[in-house]
């Protein structure tokens, strides 16, 4: 019997697109019955430092991207409720036709100002932002250069183009430059694409070096700030602020579903760039605009991001406390500087068992395996929040120490 997701992921000859369904469903049901399946756990409360899980009770939440705990913030909820009462539940149309409310324009202005840019456009999701932005700008005789750890939405966006796509080794600027030297003269335009903060490793791209290369070889640079907004930089304004290079990136995209605690995505840049994307990105043109309640809440989120650093400061404290102790214990957490803390195990079954034992200790932690990461990079992916107490984090660290030693991950 097949034992892992990747056993079903491998392409094979078949005469029916449903050929794998029966075997996968059998595997899934068996995994659920033996409690090996740890996905789609049902939450019965708002996500904060703790969460109520059906069948498990209250757990310490380490699996949410709600880093600044703004999803259920009282001011944000009140703003969302006010927008719901005034505008109703849905927008009713795509943004270009009848779905742009005054709230949408206000949020776009907030986001553009946050990044010191002329204009922003908001999309239904971060995923649709990236695929729409890339596919609207790239032509067949262009070259796309992506970091190998780029988010799936960036990679999928390249597949919607007819351009040449090449990958450079993760954060390896020497490899990127070799590709530019070899290929630049063969193409009309070049777009370098990367995450600001990488979603599975929590490390940051070398923006200063990327800027130097894009200028040297007459290329453009696109950065996805999904996991950077609100988290990195002195004021949480992302990778540019972290490197003191505000305004240097050609295209910035991001999501409103991580630190901002809502849903949606955005692209910011010059007026000419954003208006072009708005009118040529199919994922924008043909998608109903964000619901007013979500937009109302997000406007208040940006008020908080602009004026209140207390959430970020508490998160910074938690990051330092937690990562320093993990390194002392001997865990491999890579080069993370963010709220994402990977505990790299390298063995899929061991990773799942460790996540299950953490769950038994009332700790909600995600096991990340192939195809989300390579088969040798299975890991526990921990997401820290500003609202985690020191007591909660120390409990998690104690549990990780015991379980890590049990499975030989640390000594």
Domain residue ranges of the chain, discontinuous segments joined by +: 25-61+309-406, 74-307
The reported pTM is: 0.95
What is the CATH number assigned to the segment(s) 74-307?
A: 3.40.640.10
CA angle 226, 229, 234 (to 5 degrees): 150
Report the SS3 class of residue 17: coil
Distance (Å) of CA 187 to CA 132, 139, 165, 213, 277: 22, 10, 11, 16, 22
Is the preceding peptide bond at 123 cis, omega within 30 degrees of 0? Answer: no
Contacts of 220 (CB under 8 A, 6+ apart): 189, 190, 191, 192, 214, 250, 251
Catalytic residue numbers, as ranges: 199, 227, 258
CA 82 to chain centroid, in Å, comes to 28
CA distance 148 to 166: 9
Q: Which CATH architecture has domain 25-61+309-406?
A: Alpha-Beta Complex (3.90)
Distance from C-alpha of 202 to C-alpha of 198, rounded to nearest angstrom: 5
Taking only the tens of pLDDT, the chain with its 411 residues reads: 556 677 776 666 788 889 888 888 998 998 888 877 888 999 999 999 999 999 999 999 999 999 999 999 999 999 999 999 999 999 999 999 999 999 999 999 999 999 999 999 999 999 999 999 999 999 999 999 999 999 999 999 999 999 999 999 999 999 999 999 999 999 999 999 999 999 999 999 999 999 999 999 999 999 999 999 999 999 999 999 999 999 999 999 999 999 999 999 999 999 999 999 999 999 999 999 999 999 999 999 999 999 999 999 999 999 999 999 999 999 999 999 999 999 999 999 899 999 999 999 999 999 998 888 888 999 999 999 999 999 999 999 999 999 999 999 999
């Amino acid at each position: 019997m097949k034992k892992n997701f990747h056993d079903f992921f491998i392409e094979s000859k078949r005469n029916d697109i449903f050929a794998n369904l029966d075997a996968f469903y059998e595997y899934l049901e068996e995994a659920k019955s033996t409690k090996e399946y740890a996905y789609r756990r049902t939450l019965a409360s708002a996500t904060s430092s703790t969460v109520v899980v059906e069948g498990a009770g209250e757990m310490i939440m380490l699996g949410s991207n709600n880093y600044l705990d703004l999803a259920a913030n009282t001011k944000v909820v009140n703003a969302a409720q006010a927008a719901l009462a005034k505008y109703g539940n849905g927008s009713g149309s795509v943004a270009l036709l009848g779905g742009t409310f005054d709230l949408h324009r206000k949020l776009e202005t907030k986001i553009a100002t946050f990044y010191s840019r002329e204009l922003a456009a908001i999309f239904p999701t971060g995923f649709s932002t990236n695929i729409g932005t890339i596919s609207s700008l790239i032509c067949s005789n262009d070259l796309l250069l992506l970091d190998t750890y780029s988010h799936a939405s960036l990679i999928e966006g390249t597949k919607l183009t007819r351009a040449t796509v090449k990958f450079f080794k993760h954060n390896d600027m020497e490899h990127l430059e070799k590709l530019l030297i070899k290929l630049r003269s063969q193409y009309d335009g070049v777009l370098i694409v990367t995450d600001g903060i990488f979603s599975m490793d929590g490390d940051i791209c070398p923006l200063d070096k990327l800027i130097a290369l894009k200028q040297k070889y007459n290329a453009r640079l696109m950065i996805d700030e999904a996991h950077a907004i609100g988290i990195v930089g002195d004021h949480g304004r992302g990778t540019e602020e972290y490197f003191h290079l505000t305004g240097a990136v050609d295209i910035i995209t991001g999501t409103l579903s991580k630190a901002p605690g809502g849903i949606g995505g955005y692209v910011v840049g010059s007026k000419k760039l954003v208006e072009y994307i708005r009118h040529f990105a199919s994922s924008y043109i043909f998608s109903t605009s964000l619901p007013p309640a979500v937009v109302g809440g997000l406007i208040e989120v940006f008020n908080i991001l602009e004026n209140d650093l207390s959430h970020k400061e508490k998160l910074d404290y938690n990051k330092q406390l937690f990562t320093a102790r993990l390194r002392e214990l001997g865990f491999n957490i890579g080069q993370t500087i963010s709220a994402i803390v990977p505990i790299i195990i390298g063995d899929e079954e061991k990773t799942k068992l460790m996540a299950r034992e953490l769950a038994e200790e009332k700790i909600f932690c995600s096991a990340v395996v192939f195809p989300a990461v390579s088969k040798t990079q299975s890991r526990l992916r921990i997401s820290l929040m500003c609202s985690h107490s020191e007591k909660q984090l120390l409990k998690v660290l104690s549990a990780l120490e015991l379980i890590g030693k049990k499975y030989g991950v640390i000594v």
